[in-house]
Amino acid sequence: MEREKLISGNGNPSYGEGATSFADDDDLLDISTDTDGSVSFLGGLSTRRRRSVNGTENGSDSYEGGTAPDQYEDFHTIDWARDMQRYRKEHKAVSRRSSRSIWGRLKGSFYAVSAWVVVLLVGIFAGAFAGIIDIGATWLSDIKLGVCKDAFWLNWEQCCWVQNNTQFGNEDDIQCLTWFQWYELFGLQDPQDWRAYLVSYLMFVGAALLMSALAVLLVLAFAPYACGSGIPEIKTILSGFIMRGFFGKWTLLIKSITMILVVGAGLSLGKEGPLVHVACCCGNLFAHLIPKYGKNEAKKREMLSAASAAGVSVAFGAPIGGVLFSLEEISYYFPLKTLWRSFFCAMIAAFVLQAINPFGNDHAVKFYVEYNTPWYFFEIVPFILLGIFGGLYGVVFNRLNLKWCQLRITSKLGKYPITEVLLVALATALLSYPNPYSRLNTSQLIAALFRECGPQDAIGFCDYNRTYTRTDQHWYPSAEAQPGLIAAMWQLPLAMILQGILTVFTFGLKVPAGLFIPTMAVGAIGGRLMGIAMEQLAIEHPDLLIFTGCFDSGKCITPGLYAMVGAAATLGGVTRMTISLVVIMFELTGGLTYIVPLMIACMVSKWVADAFGRDGIYDGHIHLNGYPFLDGKQEFMRTTLAYDVMSPRRTDPPLLTITMDTSTVEELENLTTETRFNTYPVIVSKDSQRLVGVVYRKELIHALKQARKNQTGIVSQSKVYFTRKVPKFQVPGIPQHLSLLSILDGSPVTITDQTPMSTVVDMFKKLGIRTCLVTHNGRLLGIISKKDVLRHIAELDHQDPGSTFFH
Amino acid sequence: MEREKLISGNGNPSYGEGATSFADDDDLLDISTDTDGSVSFLGGLSTRRRRSVNGTENGSDSYEGGTAPDQYEDFHTIDWARDMQRYRKEHKAVSRRSSRSIWGRLKGSFYAVSAWVVVLLVGIFAGAFAGIIDIGATWLSDIKLGVCKDAFWLNWEQCCWVQNNTQFGNEDDIQCLTWFQWYELFGLQDPQDWRAYLVSYLMFVGAALLMSALAVLLVLAFAPYACGSGIPEIKTILSGFIMRGFFGKWTLLIKSITMILVVGAGLSLGKEGPLVHVACCCGNLFAHLIPKYGKNEAKKREMLSAASAAGVSVAFGAPIGGVLFSLEEISYYFPLKTLWRSFFCAMIAAFVLQAINPFGNDHAVKFYVEYNTPWYFFEIVPFILLGIFGGLYGVVFNRLNLKWCQLRITSKLGKYPITEVLLVALATALLSYPNPYSRLNTSQLIAALFRECGPQDAIGFCDYNRTYTRTDQHWYPSAEAQPGLIAAMWQLPLAMILQGILTVFTFGLKVPAGLFIPTMAVGAIGGRLMGIAMEQLAIEHPDLLIFTGCFDSGKCITPGLYAMVGAAATLGGVTRMTISLVVIMFELTGGLTYIVPLMIACMVSKWVADAFGRDGIYDGHIHLNGYPFLDGKQEFMRTTLAYDVMSPRRTDPPLLTITMDTSTVEELENLTTETRFNTYPVIVSKDSQRLVGVVYRKELIHALKQARKNQTGIVSQSKVYFTRKVPKFQVPGIPQHLSLLSILDGSPVTITDQTPMSTVVDMFKKLGIRTCLVTHNGRLLGIISKKDVLRHIAELDHQDPGSTFFH
Amino acid sequence: KAQFEDCRCKCVCPGDPHSKHKVNVTVVSVPALECTCQHVTGRSELECLRCECKFEVRSTTIIKIVVIFVLVLIGVLLAYLIALLIMDPGMLKRSETDRRRQPQEVLYQDAAEVAPGSSYFGRRLGRVGSAQKRWQHKVKQQRQDVFQDHTLLS
Amino acid sequence: KAQFEDCRCKCVCPGDPHSKHKVNVTVVSVPALECTCQHVTGRSELECLRCECKFEVRSTTIIKIVVIFVLVLIGVLLAYLIALLIMDPGMLKRSETDRRRQPQEVLYQDAAEVAPGSSYFGRRLGRVGSAQKRWQHKVKQQRQDVFQDHTLLS
């Protein structure tokens, strides 16, 4: 069956998740392909576990298949309920065994501790990867401008880190003697020389192009799944979708390397989303060390939730924010146990990253700020304005970006990924070099915008006419603007617009690309501008009523706070995060003082964005790609009934069913070859239509094949029984019968046709089932699969049904 | 039916939640009893809403009962699924109406905003109540020692707040001239005089006794539900239990007032749990302003979740910690929308409390600390020890306290609540006065223990032999102990033991009593002692290997940090909180630096406590009282089947059912009067046993009564039809038939008898259903109610089945 | 009564190491801007290095209102309690097992009986009385649950 | 190469207000205990009031290792990529629609064929080869999904 048909197969009554594709089951164990499956150091557990896999009978070990029936196929949806059921059986087996012997007890206790070990390893590796990426990216970023003499591995900041001398003057006047600018290659010494400028410009653009080209080539050749932010896919996978290779080793490797390259190239993208992906890859990798996670897709997703928390934790240096991000934005099934593990994982990751100390500031994040100036009540008005700005920006950005991405899918643009990346890189490098703020590494810019201007800050917008009094070392009063600040008032808006426009085209390129940093940059610039404006207003008119008492502490407005609020607002508008965003920002400052401004901005931004736009950017991309993602957060508020959704529809042929005791082996074999449904309901008789249970396609095929091979006397005309009531004695002349009671799942989820769809959606969301059967007065009427539900929701939302295909 | 039988009614097959009790339905609207129901300012909405209450048909408005069928009876379990379904209908009606006219649109937008308004009000009032309680309690606490001259309403600290003078000497040497000690009444001036001591002692004991007596009398006379911590009950209620009056006005009033009294009396209790209760009372009160919350028990619980977050937020000044506490410990159903609202509510509450500034330190909490000394890797060992200590303390405390509470229930002790409170108060006052640390208000003691010793701290354990150098103002190096500190080394342990023992007897008294403060005190003392020991060790042997580099910053050990870690450990041991505890502690310090020590202590403490004890104290009390609480956090790991749990059992009489088209009015009336089940299944015929739907007792009674009254021709022999297939023409001689299709719920939750109980438990937990029906091959077999599930879990846990009765 | 100001500036300096006194605390109530160590303690800039000056604000009015409110509330409740006890001395002791949980209708009827035959004020009073009766009934039930049956809050 | 020390003490003082220079930055590498303004800048205690001294630590070794590791990794990947491109020049361009998603058995058979008739090393190599083939097949599938069908990550 062709994949293309599958995808656009919207018309066929795809109950039971449509058709199958020929993915190799072996890939489930992404790491075990190399080592012949002997990686799992709990191998004994793993093989024994298979004995109690079948979930139909109370503790029955009767069905011992060769292939495990728990393997899902690629691009299929998992059945949480069955997986959790399997986990419980396994757990019971382990605890039963552990009560028997000391060895069993040891194993049992290892079984209990193993999750923590995995989480620890994930945390350590996520932190290490983040450290490597940070160090590599800052180095590559500076290599566009020059190189460190004698120690080429140091970036500009580290190269000029220690100079055993005392100097007077602005910090950028201080020549760093150990740093070698590229124009010095040509014997040019004066940076003001136009030839030197040109050489620098060309080197900058050339280096950026080279790095981007390298990145996109590596992605294309080794791990196509490494491109993009990955968060929409992670959300989909965590909601119970199988996407083989998405968390593979190669994805991990290539994503890390290319992220260094693209951040170094200075593209308008960040590393937060990709870091979550990298952390999840680590999580997947280590989850396979322990069979109870590696073999159980539902349990593995708990691990991945914890890993994604670690990803955000290292991206922002905000462990609590990371956990809440995982809870709010990414995860689907988040039991309390996972909350605690996520927290541990995020903590460890942040701790490791802090130990690596990539920024040399003893913090896990580049833009850590620490100021404690109070804010005043009248400032709520600008904060609300920033919130509105952030919300509007979010709406416009999301719409433009989604339009552009759709264009990429539908038009010829998508055929030339390398060219596209190169063009965007060229434009980025060409346009950003002239503007000093755009030229900066984006996270350096954000860090500068967030910081309050101190004595050592020599960046343009810190050019104040300060008059220092000597009493208090933290007393930097508000002051009038100097030329540097005035120049910043047109340079910064230009940088903001450039950043905003470039990000629209960058997010969705076929390289790893996060959205947080550029979005934050836009908001931070906007906020800083507003803060500077307010500050100058306060200085010009200190006698205005609103500024009463404001100058008591010498400083009236904190522009850095405005930058933070602005960054939170745009992020809120684009991603529609709420509490996790506030907490992340709160952890960056480490003070409860600013939680109210941040909250106001986030709330206003979210409200404005929700009023004008539909979804956050991640949900937008999920819709665009047509992933089968059933959003657990959106409440289903319609009043349709199960009857309106179930297949077969009125006009369709009746439901394919198996009768309990009349089918023959041949009939079933035909059924499995002619149709590709995942689930076949078993009924008592065609007459009564009373439901007995369901049989899964894979298990049925396997069981029939085994029976043909192993059991003598089974011929095509053999009757198949799905009931205990089997004729006891062999009647001569009639072929031997076959009892397949062991593969019958006697506990399918059933609902009546009058059940409101909201309840059904709840059941799909909360119980994590794949299909449910619809009955009326005890008779089987139809079936609802997860995709039917998704399609129904999409129809109710008046989406173009053609555009939403679900794999 | 007697209530006593109900409670111990373990043997009867209580499907459908057992029997009813005669609680007045009116009490649901606790505030509307005074104002004749005209409180709801969305009154129009409320009456219209009732038209679409019935959840059976798609948008059918056919059933318009006189009494709303959504009212639950006291001590019954709510049906989340039906309530949410009702909410969705209502929501749809509002949005349909709002699209029609401007007025409708206005109403619709108000409908959408109303929740935020309620949350805002709850936050404001929770903060205000907390402020009042704090101010009142500190004042009453000091009134035991003396009174402020000229301004009796000021406590000691506030009374001596401003003294326009400069003085040298220890701070406690500085006489506060405006404060009037009680012994001065008798003309005694010298506090060292034994008569002065005696007078003070007697006044102290007398005042404590008086306040406790007043508190217990008020509780007894006006609001018995105001006693205790309230958290076990809140957990139970939020899990979907009805306990009328528990969040009433009187409970709110009396709990606030008596809390002031008991904290003032110096009993070994805190105000955290009760503050959560108070906040929930506010939440309940304001939820009734808006019908969509007031009339819908499921939605109301969302509001209560947010309110409980505000309660913890004001108790600790930790808004994020409050939200996480609500999420982790209290709430049952916590959708993301609630998370965001809880956060808002907690923020507002903390903000209001901070504006009231009850402690005069600009923080919402008395023990706010701010220090930034680093911790060293070797300190992990003492932190782990503290964790073990906390875990063991938790186990011992929980066991003793539960034993004592059980004794109170079973023995005569429970008959004398007033005497018991007075005795405990007497013992507390008598024993704590001599010890200077016990004599302190517990939260003052904790604040002192958490703080680092600065120049102005004159408490005994800050008596160091400091040598000040003048370079750095935050440089308080480690120093040797002086007499005050040495005396503290035996006074503090005594205080700790006293606190621990008294708390065992205090928690469970018939006065409002929280557990956090005394538990924290025990842990903080333990931690501080260990910190002082470590510090002195470091000073005595600075050349030990582990102390390498420790003295670099002058200060090697921070005993205040140890106190915090100890407090976190004991709290973790007693309550088994995890992440919320860490976050609360983290918000108290406001620095990420100490998150690792706190986490280590919490984790070790939880592990140790889980290894030796069963549950946290709140769950323990829930078990002790036999509340029907189905813990959403504990995974059900058994492999029993629904068949093993359902009633009727093999030996029981068969299930009572109604047939679809053969029952008469008289039969049904007899059924409702003779049995007290909540749910009656309707089947096609006795023969086929195929399920059609269920009918709820209340609706059935009401419908029959209405039919008798309003419809002519309905006599006892009239046939009742629960199907569309009704004979079209009236046959003479046969009484007129009655169609009750409108009250038939056609979408009951059904499972097969082979369904594993873990799935069933999941359905009860996650879908929030009350009962589910068990079928086999489409035939109705039995029924499982929430209480059956609870009983089953209790049996599997080998609990004494006699001791666990569920209301 | 100038001593109960609403703001203060508190400077804490370590005392002279040679003298017996350890700490030197200066508290004055000055405006925020004047709360500097040099201004308050009169020391030199250098000597001020080790001092900590904090400007603090409080509201005695709020404290006054709250404390008096609480006292009044306790007084009123106490008076009400005494009144109730005088009217029904066995209130707190009596076992209610037999009479409790009587059908609600009885109570409503009480209210209904009063209603028709009296003036607006009488009805109003009657309603208050009936509300109070209902409330007392509820409290009795609660008392029974908590103190006698120990089914709740034990 | 003493200039790439792993610790530094950085003191930032505001410059003389009368002079043109605004900031006075002093950076020295001294032990932690010696990182005080007076010791580093040689100013008096009073003049040091407005200076900020920070002691910072870094690890150039980690940076060196990481950067070299990253460079080597990129180099190796690039070399491998070039090797692959030489072996199969159309690799990145070719449309795989017809050949892709071939039944897995074919690939396994490839591996099986190599296995019996060769030495341990040969088997080993064969296994590696087959693993590589499988991997390449997977990458091709991914490429198809992402770049041609646009069903993922678009």
Q: Are residues B324 and B427 in the same domain?
A: no
Report the pLDDT value the prediction gives residue D49, as an integer from 0 to 100.
Answer: 67
B21 contacts in chain C (CB < 8 Å): 101
Enumerate residues 6+ apart whose C-beta is below 8 A from B282: B121, B122, B125, B126, B129, B252, B307, B310
Structural domain count of chain B: 3
In a mutational test of the C interface, the residue from B222, B227, B459, B471 whose CB has the highest number of chain C CBs within 10 Å is B222
Lowest mean pLDDT among A193-207, A387-401, A491-505, B579-593: B579-593
pLDDT tops 90 at residue B367: no
- The average pLDDT across A22-34 equals 34
Residue A743 CA, distance from chain mean position:
36
Nearest Cβ partner of C67 from B139, B362, B409?
B139
pLDDT tops 50 at residue A12: no
Nearest CA among B514, B33, B507 for reference residue B250: B33
Half-sphere exposure of A59 (CA within 13 A, CB side): 8
Separation in Å, CA of B161 to nearest CA in chain A: 23
pLDDT tops 70 at residue C117: no
Per-residue pLDDT band for D15 (boundaries 50, 70, 90) equals low
Report the pLDDT value the prediction gives residue A163, as an integer from 0 to 100.
Answer: 66
- Yes or no, beta carbons of A471 and C32 under 8 Å apart: no
Q: Name all chains with 3 or more CB-CB pairs below 8 Å to chain D.
A: A, B, C
Separation in Å, CA of D59 to nearest CA in chain B: 18
Per-residue pLDDT band for A109 (boundaries 50, 70, 90) equals confident
Q: Are residues A672 and A578 in the same domain?
A: no
Mean pLDDT of chain B: 80
- The average pLDDT across B464-481 equals 60
Chain C contact for D49, CB < 8 A?
yes
What is d(CA A121, CA A127) in angstroms, rounded to the nearest whole number?
A: 10
Per-residue pLDDT band for A766 (boundaries 50, 70, 90) equals confident
Residue B783 covered by a domain: yes
Chain D contact for A161, CB < 8 A?
yes
Q: Are residues A797 and A691 in the same domain?
A: yes
Nearest CA among B168, B110, A243, B82 for reference residue C11: B168
**What percent of chain D is modeled with pLDDT above 70?**
63
Q: Are residues A432 and A495 in the same domain?
A: yes
Per-residue pLDDT band for A371 (boundaries 50, 70, 90) equals confident
Q: Which residue of D has its CA nearest to B470?
A: D45
Bigger pLDDT: A174 or A683?
A683
Nearest Cβ partner of B590 from A85, A592, A758?
A592
Q: Are residues B421 and B302 in the same domain?
A: no
Report the pLDDT value the prediction gives residue A53, as an integer from 0 to 100.
Answer: 32
What is d(CA B343, CA B584) in angstroms, rounded to the nearest whole number?
A: 14
pLDDT digits (tens, 9 = 90+) for B10-28: 333 333 333 333 333 333 3
Report the pLDDT value the prediction gives residue B797, as an integer from 0 to 100.
Answer: 77
pLDDT tops 90 at residue B369: no
Chain B contact for D144, CB < 8 A?
no
What is d(CA D50, CA D24) in angstroms, rounded to the nearest whole number?
A: 11
pLDDT tops 50 at residue A411: yes
Q: Are residues B357 and B391 in the same domain?
A: no
Mean pLDDT of chain A: 80
Q: Are residues B586 and B729 in the same domain?
A: no
- Yes or no, beta carbons of B578 and A748 under 8 Å apart: no
Report the pLDDT value the prediction gives residue A37, as an integer from 0 to 100.
Answer: 34
Which domain CATH number covers A87?
A: 1.10.3080.10
Separation in Å, CA of A547 to nearest CA in chain D: 28
Residue B307 covered by a domain: yes
- Yes or no, beta carbons of B471 and D33 under 8 Å apart: no
pLDDT tops 80 at residue A580: yes
pLDDT tops 90 at residue D51: no
Enumerate residues 6+ apart whose C-beta is below 8 A from A386: A523, A526, A527, A530, A562, A565, A566, A569, A601
- Which of A426-435, A706-715, A741-750 has the highest average model confidence (pLDDT)? A426-435
Bridge partners of A751, per DSSP, are A774
Separation in Å, CA of C19 to nearest CA in chain B: 10
Chain B contact for D36, CB < 8 A?
yes
pLDDT tops 80 at residue B385: yes
Report the pLDDT value the prediction gives residue A193, as an integer from 0 to 100.
Answer: 82
Integer-rounded Cα radius of gyration of chain D? 31
Q: Are residues A573 and A667 in the same domain?
A: no
Report the pLDDT value the prediction gives residue D123, as an integer from 0 to 100.
Answer: 67
Two structure tokens written together for C104: 């609600």
Contact assessment for residue A563 and residue A450, using Cβ atoms and an 8 Å cutoff: yes
Per-residue pLDDT band for D23 (boundaries 50, 70, 90) equals low
Residue B526 covered by a domain: yes
Lowest mean pLDDT among A203-217, A542-556, B643-657: A542-556
Residue B176 covered by a domain: no
**DSSP state at residue C4:** S
pLDDT tops 80 at residue A360: no
Question: How many other C-beta atoms are found inside a 10 Å radius of the C-beta of residue B4?
Answer: 11
Domain final residue pick, B333, B366, B399: B366
Q: Are residues B508 and B613 in the same domain?
A: yes
Q: Name all chains with 3 or more CB-CB pairs below 8 Å to chain A.
A: B, C, D
Question: How many other C-beta atoms are found inside a 10 Å radius of the C-beta of residue A1?
Answer: 13
Chain D contact for C44, CB < 8 A?
no
Chain C contact for A552, CB < 8 A?
yes
What is d(CA A454, CA A464) in angstroms, rounded to the nearest whole number?
A: 10
Per-residue pLDDT band for B278 (boundaries 50, 70, 90) equals very high
Question: How many other C-beta atoms are found inside a 10 Å radius of the C-beta of residue B422?
Answer: 17
Q: Are residues A695 and A599 in the same domain?
A: no
Report which secondary-structure segment, H or E, holds A681.
strand A679-683
Lowest mean pLDDT among A514-523, B131-140, B574-583: B574-583
Per-residue pLDDT band for B127 (boundaries 50, 70, 90) equals very high
What is d(CA B13, CA B26) in angstroms, rounded to the nearest whole number?
A: 30
Domain final residue pick, A625, A656, A679: A625
Domain range for B517:
380-463+481-533+556-625
Report which secondary-structure segment, H or E, holds D9.
strand D7-14
Q: Read out DSSP for C105-150? A: HHHHHHHHHHTTTS-HHHHHHHHHHHHHHHHHHHHHHHHIIIIII-
ipTM of the complex: 0.82
Residue A635 covered by a domain: no
- Yes or no, beta carbons of D33 and B552 under 8 Å apart: yes
Report the pLDDT value the prediction gives residue C15, as an integer from 0 to 100.
Answer: 63
- The average pLDDT across A98-104 equals 80
What is d(CA B224, CA B215) in angstroms, rounded to the nearest whole number?
A: 11
pLDDT digits (tens, 9 = 90+) for B402-444: 999 988 888 888 888 889 999 999 999 999 999 989 988 888 8
Residue A456 covered by a domain: yes
Q: Name all chains with 3 or more CB-CB pairs below 8 Å to chain C.
A: A, B, D
Q: Are residues B425 and B569 in the same domain?
A: yes
Chain A contact for D102, CB < 8 A?
yes
Phi, psi at D143, each rounded to 5°: -60, -45
A637 contacts in chain B (CB < 8 Å): 88, 91-92
- Yes or no, beta carbons of D50 and A166 under 8 Å apart: no
Contact assessment for residue B652 and residue B12, using Cβ atoms and an 8 Å cutoff: no
Q: Are residues A647 and A758 in the same domain?
A: yes
Residue A195 covered by a domain: no
| Class of residue B723 by CB neighbours under 10 A (exposed 0-12, middle 13-18, buried 19+) | middle
- The average pLDDT across B153-177 equals 66
Report the pLDDT value the prediction gives residue B53, as an integer from 0 to 100.
Answer: 33
pLDDT digits (tens, 9 = 90+) for B587-625: 877 666 788 888 889 989 998 998 898 888 999 998 888
Lowest mean pLDDT among A131-140, A716-725, B783-792, D90-99: D90-99
Contact assessment for residue B453 and residue B485, using Cβ atoms and an 8 Å cutoff: no
Mean pLDDT of chain C: 71
Domain final residue pick, A625, A654, A671: A625
Size of interface A-D (CB pairs under 8 A): 200
Lowest mean pLDDT among A20-24, A671-675, A718-722, B114-118: A20-24
Residue A504 covered by a domain: yes
Chain B contact for C87, CB < 8 A?
no
Contact assessment for residue B22 and residue B1, using Cβ atoms and an 8 Å cutoff: no
Report which secondary-structure segment, H or E, holds C13.
strand C7-14
pLDDT tops 80 at residue B363: no
| Class of residue D15 by CB neighbours under 10 A (exposed 0-12, middle 13-18, buried 19+) | middle
Per-residue pLDDT band for B663 (boundaries 50, 70, 90) equals confident
D38 contacts in chain B (CB < 8 Å): 471
Bridge partners of A179, per DSSP, are A148
- The average pLDDT across B208-223 equals 92
Place of tokens 């004729």: A727
